[in-house]
C-alpha cells in the first residue's frame, strides 16, 4: 500500500497536535486537541480554518475550453462572466453523477478552473481527458494549496490578510484573483458550511505561511483549525450532498434535489438524455432530511422501514448535530414518505428507531 499523500499544511497540522487519518489517499486532520464539537461550534459562532488542499483542480483553456466544459458539465457555463463561479455536476452516459464540482470562470470562453472532490481527483481528470473536445487540459492539483475560512468572523479575518480587499466586493459564487507574498492567490466565495466565508487558493509554497498568519491574526476572533470531522457535521446540518453519500455514479441529479444545476433546456451535455428520461418516468426515490425521535445515531447504509415493516429507503449521512444536540440524518426514501412530517423507522444495530422528515437545512446559518 502506498504512503498517504501530504498537503502543504501537513507539518502545521502535526505542530497543532491534530489526529491524522487517511482520507482518499491523503493524510488529513480529522480533529485537533479541543475536539469536533468545539471546532464545529467555533465555525458556527466565530471562525474556523480548513485545509482543503487535497481537493483537485483541473485547468481547461484555449479556444475550445467553453465547448469542452459545456459538454462535460450539467450547468450553463456560457452564462458565466469573468470572476463568476457555479456549482455543477459531471455526469456519465447513463445520467449518473461522476462528481460534483465548482466551475470558476477565469476568462469567458477560454479559461476555466474546475475544482473537484479529493476522492475523485484522478478519476475526474481521466474523465475530462477522455471527453475533451479540443481544449488544453492541465492537472493543477499539485500546484494549489487551499484554505477555507468559514464563520461569522471570516470576513474580518480575510480583510486583515488582504489589506486592499473588501468582503463586500464579492457576492456568493464570485471570486477574485490576487497575490499573497508575490505568488498567485484566488479569493473565492463558494463555501460548504452555510456560514460566511471564503476559499483561499494559494500557490502551495506559500500555503503554510498563509495558514500561520490566519491563525496569528485571528486570535482575538477566536479562530480555530477545523478537521474533517467537523467539516462533515457542518455540511450535514446544511443537507449539502457529498459524493459517495448522497450522489454517486448510479444516482440521478433530480433524486438528490440537484435538478437546479441541470440546464437541459439551454445545452447538450453528457448524460442529458437519460436524465430527462428518468425524470419523465417519475421519481423512484427522494432525498430527505430527518430527525430521530428515539435514541441512536443514523449512519450511512442503515436501512429505513415503514411502520408496516416495509423497506422504504437508506441513510446516506447521519450524525449527532452539535448545534441542535439532536440526531439528524439524510437519506433516500420512496416518494410517498418524502413529505415533511412523514414518519418511518431507522434500523440501528438490529433495532427500529422512530424518525420524522423535517425541513432542511437543519440549521439556519448566521
CB neighbour burial string for 58-78, b if at least 16 within 10 angstroms, e if fewer: bbbbeebbbbbbbbbbbbbbe
CA triplet 233, 58, 85: central angle to 5 degrees?
Answer: 65
Mean pLDDT by 10 residues, the chain (366 residues): 89 98 97 97 98 98 98 98 98 98 98 97 98 98 98 98 94 97 97 96 98 98 98 98 97 96 98 96 95 97 98 98 98 98 97 98 88
* Domain count across the chain: 3
Where among 139, 160, 179 does a domain terminate? 139
Strand, coil or helix: what is 248? coil
| Predicted pLDDT at 365 | 78
Whether residues 103 and 160 fall in one domain: no
Closest CA to 154 of 242, 45, 253: 45
Taken as a whole, the chain contains a residue count of: 366
Q: What is the value of pTM for the model shown?
A: 0.96
Residue 112, all three cell numbers: 476555466
Whether residues 233 and 133 fall in one domain: no
Interatomic CA distance for residues 278 and 319, integer angstroms? 31
Residue 203, all three cell numbers: 500557490
CATH of the domain at 292: 2.40.30.110
Interatomic CA distance for residues 227 and 34, integer angstroms? 11
What is the torsion angle, in degrees rounded to the nearest 10, for the CA atoms of residue 9, residue 10, residue 15 and residue 17?
Answer: 120
| Predicted pLDDT at 366 | 67
Q: How far apart are the first and last CA of the chain?
A: 43
In a domain, 256, yes or no: no
In a domain, 254, yes or no: no
Whether residues 78 and 43 fall in one domain: no
Whether residues 223 and 361 fall in one domain: no
Closest CA to 317 of 254, 247, 245: 245
Q: For 49, what's the count of Cα atoms within 13 Å in the CB-facing half-sphere?
A: 29
In a domain, 120, yes or no: yes
Domain that holds residue 354: 283-366
In a domain, 276, yes or no: no
Closest CA to 288 of 356, 338, 218: 338
In a domain, 341, yes or no: yes
Whether residues 199 and 307 fall in one domain: no
Whether residues 289 and 363 fall in one domain: yes
Whether residues 26 and 175 fall in one domain: yes
Residue 277's Cβ-count burial label (10 Å; 0-12, 13-18, 19+) is exposed
Whether residues 79 and 228 fall in one domain: no
CATH of the domain at 181: 3.30.1360.120
Whether residues 163 and 232 fall in one domain: yes
In a domain, 262, yes or no: no
Whether residues 44 and 71 fall in one domain: no
Where among 92, 110, 139 does a domain terminate? 139
Whether residues 121 and 194 fall in one domain: no
Amino acid at each position: 500500500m502506498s504512503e498517504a499523500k501530504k498537503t502543504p499544511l501537513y507539518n502545521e497540522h502535526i505542530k497543532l497536535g491534530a489526529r491524522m487519518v487517511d482520507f482518499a489517499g491523503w493524510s488529513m486532520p480529522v480533529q485537533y486537541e479541543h475536539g469536533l464539537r468545539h471546532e464545529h461550534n467555533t465555525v458556527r459562532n466565530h471562525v474556523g480554518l480548513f485545509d482543503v488542499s487535497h481537493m483537485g483542480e483541473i485547468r481547461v483553456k484555449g479556444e475550445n475550453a467553453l465547448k469542452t466544459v459545456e459538454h462535460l458539465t450539467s450547468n450553463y457555463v456560457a452564462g458565466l462572466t469573468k470572476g463568476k463561479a457555479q456549482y455543477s455536476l459531471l455526469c456519465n452516459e447513463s445520467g449518473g453523477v461522476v462528481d460534483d464540482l465548482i466551475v470558476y470562470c477565469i476568462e469567458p470562453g477560454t479559461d476555466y478552473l474546475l475544482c473537484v472532490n479529493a476522492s475523485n481527483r484522478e478519476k475526474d481528470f481521466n474523465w475530462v481527458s477522455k471527453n475533451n473536445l479540443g481544449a488544453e487540459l492541465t492537472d493543477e492539483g499539485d500546484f494549489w494549496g487551499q484554505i477555507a475560512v468559514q464563520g461569522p468572523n471570516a470576513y474580518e479575518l480575510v480583510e486583515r490578510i488582504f489589506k486592499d480587499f473588501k468582503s463586500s466586493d464579492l457576492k456568493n459564487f464570485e471570486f477574485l484573483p490576487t497575490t499573497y507574498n508575490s505568488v498567485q492567490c484566488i479569493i473565492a466565495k463558494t463555501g460548504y458550511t452555510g456560514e460566511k466565508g471564503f476559499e483561499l487558493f494559494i500557490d502551495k509554497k506559500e500555503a503554510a505561511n498563509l495558514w500561520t498568519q490566519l491563525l496569528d491574526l485571528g486570535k482575538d476572533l477566536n479562530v480555530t483549525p477545523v478537521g474533517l470531522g467537523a467539516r462533515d457535521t457542518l455540511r450535514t446540518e446544511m443537507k449539502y450532498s457529498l459524493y459517495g453519500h448522497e450522489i454517486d455514479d448510479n444516482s440521478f441529479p433530480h433524486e438528490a434535489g440537484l435538478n437546479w444545476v441541470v440546464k437541459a433546456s439551454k445545452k447538450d451535455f453528457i448524460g442529458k438524455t437519460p436524465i430527462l428520461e428518468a425524470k419523465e418516468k417519475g421519481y423512484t426515490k427522494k432525498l430527505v432530511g430527518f430527525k430521530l425521535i428515539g435514541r441512536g445515531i443514523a449512519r450511512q447504509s442503515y436501512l429505513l422501514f415503514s411502520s408496516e415493516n416495509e423497506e422504504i429507503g437508506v441513510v446516506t449521512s447521519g450524525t449527532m448535530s452539535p448545534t441542535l444536540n439532536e440526531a439528524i440524518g439524510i437519506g433516500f426514501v420512496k416518494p410517498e414518505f418524502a413529505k415533511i412530517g412523514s414518519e418511518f423507522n431507522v434500523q440501528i444495530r438490529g433495532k427500529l428507531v422512530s424518525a420524522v422528515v423535517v425541513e432542511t437545512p437543519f440549521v439556519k446559518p448566521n
